[in-house]
Amino acid sequence: MVAVAQMDDQPGLTGDRRGRAAALRFGLIALLILMLLLGLGWGAAGDTQVLAALGSKFGLAEASLRDTTIIWDIRMPRVLTAVLVGAALAVSGAVMQGLFRNPLADPGLVGVSAGAGFGAVAAIVLGGFLPVAVLSVVGAYLVPFAAFLGGWASTLILYAIATRGGRTSVATMLLAGIALGALTGALTGFIVYRATDDQLRDLTFWGMGSVAGATWMKLLTAGPVIALGLIAAPVLARALDALALGESVAAHLGIDTQLMKRLAILSVALSVGASVAITGGIGFVGIVVPHVLRLLQGPEHRNLLPNCAILGAIILLAADMISRTVVAPAELPIGIVTATMGGPFFLWILLKNRHILDI
Amino acid sequence: MIRLVLALLVLPGLASAQPYPDARRIVSVGGPVTELIFALGAGDRVIARDTTSQFPEAVNDLPDVGYMRQLSAEGVLSVNPDLIVTRDTAGPVEVLDQLRAAAIPLVEVHDGFSSEAVIAAMRTVGSALGLRPEGEALARQAEADFAALADDIAAGPQPRVMFVLSNQGGRLNVAGAGTGADGIIALSGGVNVMAEAFQGYKIVSDEAIIAAAPEVIVMMAPTGNAEHDSRREGVMALPAITQTPAGEANALVHVPGAALGFGPRTAQFARDLNTAFTAAVQ
């Protein structure tokens, strides 16, 4: 602890970065508020009386049922879902990169999302076989819970395989992640094969991701789980910073590395699992956001994680706005938008900063 | 017979659906539903459609609210509809709930792969649009057409048929029970060889194809998509197919894609297909 505190006090390097991170956070919060307002005020139904509809809930104004439905039951839950899921994906990406000490770690890339997707698909297709008594208890929580279990199991397995003698092997992790992704993909495929035609077409959406089906019900079910994972992240920040110096150094600094690793895995599994359960797989947020911020403000997790949450939310809000307006009145799945935006952007960042990242 | 009794039981319930004769801004979801509204002469009241609605030609000029299973609530509301007519397989469920919450009347038309479903839909949509006599007339005509077709089928051959949806590198995606293809084959006097084997569309092994011994292979008509069409062309030359009676006789029949959705043209599609079956096995 002492050593870390001393490092922070070094003038020039860290002080600058902390100032930059604070300034950046200020700008990001302003941008987030702007995007939230845009997200509520802008959509395919351009003639909606936004302010009147907003006020009508509090008896401040009169609005048609159509407009109140658009604002309160369609745009509000999907905007909040985009914020929560965007934040969860970006923070989970940053936590995994810190945990594995590998810039390529990402819930989507190393199979955590695939595991969560398998859990969700299994719950949708096979959930009907559960006894009615069980179903009536778990009810709407079944799919998010199954997704969480799937995500958690894949993260644990991945970590156990890639870590040997307290050292996490980069190559093993990536390869094991790919193998794990393939395996869960195959298991998902098997269940999908058993699905009826109707279930099949509805399942397609897991592959592409969408916040279009966001409802208050889903948000209230999965939201607290995602929030729990997000709340755990700041607790991890200091430990992740220490871990960057190596596991033995972190242990000497008084950090319970095993406990912290378990907490990190649990937090990632919680937030990614619940996110996948309500939106399906949304790629690239978890890898692009942390890297952009690291380039802008440095790698310290204490500053990185909160900004990741905000920028992740902004990115997903922006992607959702594109997805719901570009082919209006129809809609593009959001996963297509994030991959289309994120892929080339990430490549550009990589090429421009090859010397800094030095992967 | 059971189907007929069921249809009779359901009919009064459907026919008494609340009518919306004043609806002038209709969003029509599902190809057969859209065809039906146009067949009732109410095409000018449709202002938007979904991606699966591509007939008659005129609907392609209307705004497209997306694939019928991936509707967007705000997208549909943005065209300011006063009535939504949809197949009951449309979705997602959340979106339909949101549309109901916005107080837009929503008429759901039962989606079935049978002549009874087609006839019931004519009455449902007819009364929903305030065009009950027109709907009744269409239904009567369809009943007569299907009855005449059934008589002709009973007199002719009833070949064993296999419907191939797609050719994925030599592995065939084939229609089982509970599919539009299965329904139109049954209406056309064919026997779907895979109906007993599985539900939905599945990839089947070469041996299963040989064992099923179809006399006729049915595929969708060329769409103009060169890649799809070229892959379909290869089907009759596949080793497994050449081992079947259909392969030996080169008995390949094309069916329009629209025939897989059950709508006002179904009787005609079934008659054409029946004619093609008869020609293929003789």
Q: Token pair for residue A225? A: 């789980």
List CB contacts (< 8 A) between A330 and chain B. Answer: 51, 64-67, 72, 75
Q: Does B98 touch chain A (CB under 8 A)?
A: yes
Residues whose CB falls within 8 Å of the CB of residue A295, separated by 6 or more in sequence, listed in order: A349, A353, A356, A357
Q: Which of A75, A201, A324 sits opposite B69 (nearest CB)?
A: A201
Q: How many C-beta atoms surround the C-beta of residue A1 within 10 A?
A: 10
Q: Taking a C-beta distance cutoff of 8 angstroms, is the pair B116, B4 a contact? A: yes
Can you name the residues that pair with B173 across neighbouring β-strands? B166, B203
Share of chain A above pLDDT 70, in %: 86
- Tell me the nearest-neighbour CA distance from B155 into chain A, angstroms: 34
Q: What is the pLDDT of residues B72-86, one digit of tens each?
A: 898 999 999 999 999
Q: For CA atoms A180, A182, A184, A187, give the dihedral sign.
A: negative
- Tell me the nearest-neighbour CA distance from A202 into chain B, angstroms: 7
Q: Does A327 touch chain B (CB under 8 A)?
A: yes
For residue A109, pLDDT over 70 is answered with no
pTM: 0.78
Cβ contacts below 8 Å, chain A against chain B, sum to 94
Fold equal for B2-150 and B157-281: yes
Of chain B, the end-to-end C-alpha distance in Å amounts to 31
CA distances for B17 relative to B10, B29, B105, angstroms: 12, 18, 11
Distance CA A337, CA A319 (A): 6
In the prediction, which pLDDT does B10 show? 47
For residue A97, pLDDT over 70 is answered with yes
Distance CA B200, CA B194 (A): 10
Q: What is the pLDDT of residues A293-346, one digit of tens each?
A: 988 888 889 899 999 999 999 999 999 999 888 888 888 888 888 888 888 887
Which amino acid is present at A106? D
Mean of pLDDT over chain B: 89
Q: What is the pLDDT of residues A38-77, one digit of tens each?
A: 988 888 777 778 888 888 888 888 888 888 888 998 899 9
In the prediction, which pLDDT does A289 show? 92
Domains in chain B: boundaries: 2-150, 157-281
Q: What is the pLDDT of residues A264-274, one digit of tens each?
A: 888 888 888 88
Q: What is the pLDDT of residues A131-175, one digit of tens each?
A: 766 666 666 677 777 888 888 888 888 878 877 776 666 678 778
Name the CATH superfamily, with its identifier, for domain B2-150: Nitrogenase molybdenum iron protein domain (3.40.50.1980)
- Tell me the nearest-neighbour CA distance from A276 into chain B, angstroms: 17
Mean of pLDDT over chain A: 81
Q: Which of residues 29-48 of A touch B (CB under 8 A)?
A: 43-47
Q: Token pair for residue B29? A: 């979801």
Confidence of residue B3 (pLDDT cuts 50, 70, 90): low
Q: What is the pLDDT of residues A222-265, one digit of tens each?
A: 888 899 888 888 889 988 998 888 878 888 888 888 788 878 88
DSSP sequence for B166-193? EEETTEEEEE-BSSHHHHHHHHTT-EET
Quick one: which of A186, A58, A33 has its CA closest to A122? A186
In the prediction, which pLDDT does A276 show? 84
Q: Which of A43, A196, A327 sits opposite B74 (nearest CB)?
A: A43
Q: What is the pLDDT of residues B160-182, one digit of tens each?
A: 999 999 888 788 999 999 999 99
In the prediction, which pLDDT does B183 show? 96
Q: Does B196 touch chain A (CB under 8 A)?
A: no
Domain range B157-281, CATH architecture: 3-Layer(aba) Sandwich (3.40)
In the prediction, which pLDDT does A137 show? 64
In the prediction, which pLDDT does A115 show? 87
Domains (ranges, CATH) in chain A? 58-354 (1.10.3470.10)
- Tell me the nearest-neighbour CA distance from A101 into chain B, angstroms: 40
B164 torsion bin: left (phi>0), alpha (psi -120 to 50), beta (else): beta
Q: Which of A45, A196, A201 sits opposite B74 (nearest CB)?
A: A45
Quick one: which of B117, B137, B142, B116 has its CA closest to B127? B137
In the prediction, which pLDDT does A170 show? 61
Do β-strands B201-204 and B46-49 pair in parallel, antiparallel, or remain unpaired?
Answer: unpaired
Task: Answer whether A69 sits within 8 Å of B178, measured CB to CB.
Answer: no
In the prediction, which pLDDT does A334 show? 85
In the prediction, which pLDDT does A263 show? 85
Least confidently predicted of A191-195, A298-302, B34-38: A191-195
Among chain A residues, CA nearest to B51: A330
In the prediction, which pLDDT does A283 show? 79
More confident residue, A281 or B272: B272
Q: Which of B48, B64, B102 sits opposite A66 (nearest CB)?
A: B102
In the prediction, which pLDDT does A349 show? 76
